[in-house]
Amino acid sequence: MSHDTRTGEIHVPILARVEGEGALDIRIEAGRIEALTLRIFEPPRLFEKLLEGRSTQDVIDSVARICGICPVAYQMSAVVAIESILGVTPSPWVEAMRRVMYCGEWLQSHSLHIHLLAAPDFLGYDSAPAMARDYPEEVRRGLRLQGLGNEIIRTFGGRSVHPVGICPGGFFRAPDAATLQALRQRLAAGLEEARALIAWTAELPLPEDDQAFVSVSLRHPCDYPITVGRIVSDQGLDIDPADFEQHFSEFQVPHSTALHAQLDGHPYLVGPLARLNNNLDRLPDDLRQLLDDGGVHFPSRNMFHSIVARAVEMHVALGEALRLTEDYDPAAEPHVEAPPRAGVGVGCTEAPRGILWHRYALDDEARVVEARIVPPTSQNQARMEEDLAASLTRFGLERDDDALRLHGEMVIRNYDPCISCATHFLDFNVLRKNVLRK
Amino acid sequence: MSCEKMSCENKPRGNDPGVTGAGLAGQDGADDLPKGHDYLFGLGSPHGGDRLGWLAAEWLGDALGERDDITVARLDQPVDLFLHPVTPRDRLLLVDAMRGQGPPGTLKVFAPGELPEAAARLSSHGLDLASTLALVEALGLFRAGIRIIGIEMPDPDMTTPKLDEAQARRLHEAVLGWLDGG
């Protein structure tokens, strides 16, 4: 068959090593991709509707259930929105410790993705256990760092899965100094391991695949953005999170139970690579030097450099957690009172997979009248489809179905999509010359 | 370890189904390795029936407090066991709540390959028990043996799950048998 006349369809019915369930369908006509759909068929979870009528604490505890990997992100965006309505300003201690807790989530989520989901792709293994037999020290390092992230979350949230420590105005309790001191010793050891991890990811045989895309993230006046900031892009966008709806639109497509999103009518990227592209100057000097020495240069247009960006952010998370707990003193009052008040408020924080935007309207008793949640995976869906079309074309549509399916899965996994958040993932189907293959 | 003490009810509740399943002593074996350390991890969370694994770890931590050949701890997630300095010479005993294996309080011992598929794959957060055990095997850890003890959960409407005296005694005996069984 001639490469430029190839016709058919490819279907990937189940995508492995992503959080959730979805599928990929491609129709190739005369050697070109005529249609490509990333199908997300996990049933809608209807969380926004379920939140109506609930109290603010119920919201914070409920939204943690949206995701087992990034519950802290959901809690943080929610609590920021709620506090803005209630007129509550958390103490500097609360703001610092929330950032530490969030660092725990970045650490565990990024380490899980690097070692168990993405790295096997680049090293040619079909699973993390298969890779672990040949890279035992690297995998154990990753598991330690993941566990350390869980430990940070547990320290502030009572447990690492769906934590319960956050309330409007702060935390229910402050960890004692001895607990933090023991944690800090592990953080210091982890920081060294994160340096080695950056070097390891930078040496992985990552595909060269530069593309044009818009990077969207938060930006903070001085810190690497995590819990607060303006929404910016590398194309000049610079807005208050309250103005999100004026620039970003969500819409339904027939093939997905998760909404798609566009910025001023175009797909865009959120997540570690976008954050790093937009915030290189917010990295500590020693980390920027480490990156410069590593051979991978940012800002990067190669989506596969996301794995390096995740490793960098793990170092950021550990460094920040150490910095912010250096003179740790448990707060006598870990939260301020938050009396009920009606109003509308938004919260936007940097979940491991990108900006997570929440908007709530509360009544006089501070019960939810209306809720809107825009998760990162929904925002990245259109970008993933755009990337798949470009990457698979560059990879070579003349290749056999298995090769295309594997490459497609690798492209998608690279975004670390959390389909459970956006509504779980991948079924791959190719049809050539009207023959359906699975 | 620093576990809160749990209270055991004085009177045995319900029937006493005993311990069933794979043997605890004389397991898997790594005869070529010198004896390592033993780890007992209770899996679970602070609330609901899932709390049984933590209750067991708290109770066993107190009961085995004099022994220095075993580390007892509670884990939120199986993958957190990698935070401990575990080696191929060590043995692993996991205690977790289970459902559908008998009357409430039933203790059942599983070898890794015997775990019911649904239980091993049950996780909302990335790395379930089966995936963790697959990594343990790939990394060559705990070659001296791995066992999982399941404790059947109470009815869902029982708000505060507890280990009663008979269950605690049987669990303790089973763990002592594992510890000293070689």
- pLDDT one-digit tens code per residue, B53-92: 999 999 999 999 889 899 999 998 898 899 899 999 999 9
Q: A122 with A198, same domain?
A: yes
Q: A171 with A201, same domain?
A: yes
A129·B135 Cβ contact <8 A: yes
Nearest to A160 among B77, B82, B135 (CB): B77
Phi/psi for A381 (5° steps) reads -60, -45
A147·B131 Cβ contact <8 A: no
Q: What is the pLDDT of residue A230?
A: 98
Q: A165 with A101, same domain?
A: yes
**Tokens at A234, concatenated:** 């590398």
Q: A191 with A139, same domain?
A: yes
Sign of the C-alpha dihedral, residues A422, A426, A432, A438?
negative
Q: A408 with A291, same domain?
A: yes
Q: Which of A175-179, A254-258, A343-347, A392-396 has the lowest mean pLDDT?
A: A254-258
Distance from CA of B26 to the nearest CA of A (A): 26
Q: A325: domain CATH number? A: 1.10.645.10
A342, burial (CB in 10 Å: exposed 0-12, middle 13-18, buried 19+): middle
The answer to whether residues A341 and A386 touch, using CB atoms and an 8 Å cutoff, is no
Distance from CA of B69 to the nearest CA of A (A): 23
Q: What is the pLDDT of residue A2?
A: 45
Q: What percent of chain A has pLDDT above 70?
A: 92
Give dist(CA A289, CA A277) in Å, integer: 16
In a domain, A120, yes or no: yes
B131·A128 Cβ contact <8 A: yes
Distance from CA of A287 to the nearest CA of B (A): 25
Interface of A with B in 299-328 (CB under 8 A): none
Give dist(CA A366, CA A168) in Å, integer: 11
B135·A139 Cβ contact <8 A: yes
In a domain, A398, yes or no: yes
Give dist(CA A149, CA A66) in Å, integer: 19
Q: A309 with A199, same domain?
A: yes
Q: Of A280, A314, A336, which marks where a domain is finished?
A: A336
A143 touches chain B (CB under 8 A): yes
- pLDDT one-digit tens code per residue, B108-137: 999 998 887 665 555 545 678 888 999 999
**Tokens at A151, concatenated:** 């430990």
Structural domain total, chain A: 2
Please name every residue paired with B97 in a beta bridge, in sequence order, or none if there are none.
Answer: B151
Write the CB contacts of A307 (distance below 8 Å, at least 6 apart in sequence).
A113, A114, A118, A119, A122, A201, A204, A206, A414
Interface of A with B in 83-142 (CB under 8 A): 112, 116, 127-130, 132-133, 136, 139-140
pLDDT at A151 over 90: yes
Fold of the domain spanning B19-180: Rossmann fold (3.40.50)
Structural domain boundaries enclosing A21:
1-43+210-301+375-438
**A chain contacts of residue B46, beta-carbon cutoff 8 Å:** 158-159
Q: A242 with A170, same domain?
A: no
Nearest to A146 among B46, B79, B139 (CB): B79
Q: A177 with A225, same domain?
A: no
Nearest to A129 among B124, B125, B134 (CB): B134
pLDDT at A5 over 80: no
Q: A168 with A131, same domain?
A: yes
Strands A435-437 and A343-351: unpaired
Give dist(CA A276, CA A300) in Å, integer: 9
- Residue A109's closest chain B neighbor by CA? B126
- Residue A416's closest chain B neighbor by CA? B126
A132·B138 Cβ contact <8 A: yes
**A chain contacts of residue B80, beta-carbon cutoff 8 Å:** 147, 150-151, 160
**Structure confidence at residue A258 as a pLDDT band (50, 70, 90):** confident
Q: Which residue has the tokens 């991709």?
A: A33
In a domain, A270, yes or no: yes
Q: What is the pLDDT of residue B45?
A: 82
Q: A219 with A265, same domain?
A: yes
**Mutation target vs B (from A146, A413, A424; most B CBs, 10 A cutoff):** A146
Please name every residue paired with B150 in a beta bridge, in sequence order, or none if there are none.
Answer: B96, B108
In a domain, A106, yes or no: yes
Q: List strand residue ranges (DSSP E) for A107-204, in order.
A: 166-167, 170-171
**B chain contacts of residue A127, beta-carbon cutoff 8 Å:** 134
ipTM of the complex: 0.77
B163: left (phi over 0), alpha (psi -120 to 50) or beta: beta
How far does CA A14 lie from the centroid of its chain?
Answer: 21
The residue among A420, A437, A422, A431 whose CA lies nearest residue A19 is A420
To the nearest 10 degrees (0 to 180), the angle between helices A136-157 and B129-138 is 140
- pLDDT one-digit tens code per residue, A281-340: 999 999 999 998 888 999 999 999 999 999 999 999 999 999 999 999 999 999 999 999
pLDDT at A427 over 70: no
A19·B77 Cβ contact <8 A: no
Give the pTM: 0.87
Between A169 and B163, residue with greater pLDDT: A169
Q: A293 with A223, same domain?
A: yes
Distance from CA of B122 to the nearest CA of A (A): 12
Please state the rounded mean pLDDT for residues B38-54. Answer: 88
Q: A166 with A308, same domain?
A: yes
**A chain contacts of residue B79, beta-carbon cutoff 8 Å:** 143, 146-147, 150
The residue among A416, A429, A438 whose CA lies nearest residue A20 is A416
